[in-house]
């Protein structure tokens, strides 16, 4: 439940104004949280000038008070940071520290979710990378063979992917280390699952920025997401929870490549109304 420390509360009404589901009211000059429609978003905790609101459902020790020095990001620097990021497929033979993986996950955990569902989960693969590669490539090979066996005008566009997946599997079986065109010998994978694809995608975007800020390289493997579709063996291997779907697969490692500039993009497609 969300609670109010009546000794601290000054009845300023800021929590009442900022509660968009209208579950807080002022009673006798004090804030009263009804906990009827409350979705535990925490706006009341964040907006209270006297730190009078708390909850017994989450760890209040994790709450940080705002200070400009630690919380502000220069807008131009942030935009350049986003422009400069690249998908990395060349990795050093170096493990990624657990504390960095946890910080990446923290960036995902604190990403907003619809109705504060907090439905995003994370699967970290390090020790079982080889097994994951084998299961994924085996699945892609079967998908590719199925596509080639049933080509029609609607599926011809996927022919090159089908042939690529089969070749990736064959090359990998010949020499797994030299021919890893799935994860490119990266040392870690974080798979993001969620009930809502939007929530998972938003979390993944923030996680990628955190990975870059930590000096790591990343790319998202759509191949793994495709391989896992309707594949019970993969879902069981990964331990995907019931009701959740794989949204993204982030490949992570220390980059073995250096970039010197941003790259051009198409002009923004904007409609002003």
pLDDT at res. 155:
81
- What is the per-residue pLDDT for 157? 86
Question: What structural domains and CATH numbers belong to the chain?
Answer: 2-62 (3.30.70.20), 75-273 (3.40.109.10)
Can you read off the two tokens belonging to residue 50? 């006297």
pLDDT band at 216 (very low <50, low <70, confident <90, very high): very high
The stretch 6-16 carries a mean pLDDT of 98
Mean pLDDT of the region 220-229: 97
User: Contact, 252 vs 204, CB < 8 A?
Assistant: no
What's this model's pTM, rounded to 2 decimal places? 0.94
Looking at residue 208, its pLDDT comes to 98
Residues 54-74, mean pLDDT to the nearest whole number: 95
* Span 141-187, pLDDT tens digits: 999 999 999 988 888 889 999 999 999 999 999 999 899 999 999 99
What pLDDT is attached to residue 152? 87
Q: What is the pLDDT of residue 156?
A: 87
Residue-level pLDDT at 77 = 97
pLDDT in tens, 185-204: 999 999 999 999 999 999 99
- How large is the average pLDDT for residues 70-93? 97
**CA distance readout (Å), 237 to 65, 85, 134, 173, 188:** 41, 32, 12, 20, 16
**Burial classification of residue 245, based on how many CB atoms lie within 10 Å of its CB (0-12 exposed, 13-18 middle, 19 or more buried):** middle
As a whole number of angstroms, the distance between CA 105 and CA 70 comes to: 20
pLDDT, one tens digit per residue, over 88-137 is: 999 999 999 999 999 999 999 999 999 999 999 999 999 999 999 999 99
Q: What is the mean pLDDT of the chain?
A: 97
Mean pLDDT of 23-46: 97
**Paired strand residues for 239:** none
Which span out of 175-179, 229-233, 268-272 was modeled with the highest average pLDDT?
A: 268-272
Cα 165 to Cα 169: distance, rounded to the nearest angstrom: 6
So what's the pLDDT on residue 43? 97
The two counts, helices (H) then strands (E), for the chain are 10, 8
Going by their DSSP bridges, the two strands 2-4 and 53-55 should be labelled as antiparallel
Helix ranges, the chain (H): 14-18, 43-47, 68-71, 75-84, 98-109, 129-149, 159-174, 197-213, 222-228, 232-238
- Return d(Cα 19, Cα 31) in angstroms, integer: 12
């Amino acid at each position: 439940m969300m609670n109010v420390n009546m000794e601290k509360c000054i009845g300023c009404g800021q929590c009442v104004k900022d509660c968009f589901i209208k579950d807080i009211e002022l009673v006798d000059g004090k804030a009263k949280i009804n906990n009827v429609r409350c979705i535990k978003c925490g706006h009341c905790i964040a907006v209270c000038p006297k730190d009078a609101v708390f909850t017994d459902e989450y760890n209040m020790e994790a709450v940080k008070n705002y200070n400009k020095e630690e919380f502000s990001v220069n807008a131009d620097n942030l935009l350049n940071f986003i422009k400069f990021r690249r998908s990395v497929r060349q990795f050093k033979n170096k493990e990624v520290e657990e504390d960095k993986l946890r910080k990446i996950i923290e960036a995902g955990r604190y990403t907003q979710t619809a109705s504060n569902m907090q439905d995003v989960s994370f699967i970290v693969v390090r020790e079982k990378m080889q097994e994951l590669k084998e299961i994924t490539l085996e699945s892609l090979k079967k998908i590719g063979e199925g596509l080639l066996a049933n080509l029609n005008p609607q599926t011809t566009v996927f022919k090159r992917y089908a042939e690529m997946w089969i070749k990736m599997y064959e090359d990998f079986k010949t020499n797994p280390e030299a021919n890893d065109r799935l994860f490119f010998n990266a040392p870690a994978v974080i798979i993001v699952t969620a009930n809502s694809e939007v929530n998972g995608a938003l979390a993944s975007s923030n996680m990628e920025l955190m990975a870059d800020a930590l000096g790591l390289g990343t790319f998202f493997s759509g191949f793994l997401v495709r391989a896992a579709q309707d594949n019970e063996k993969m879902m069981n291997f990964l331990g995907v929870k019931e009701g959740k779907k794989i949204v993204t697969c982030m490949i992570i490692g220390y980059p073995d490549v250096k970039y010197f500039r941003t790259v051009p993009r198409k002009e923004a497609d904007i409609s002003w109304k």
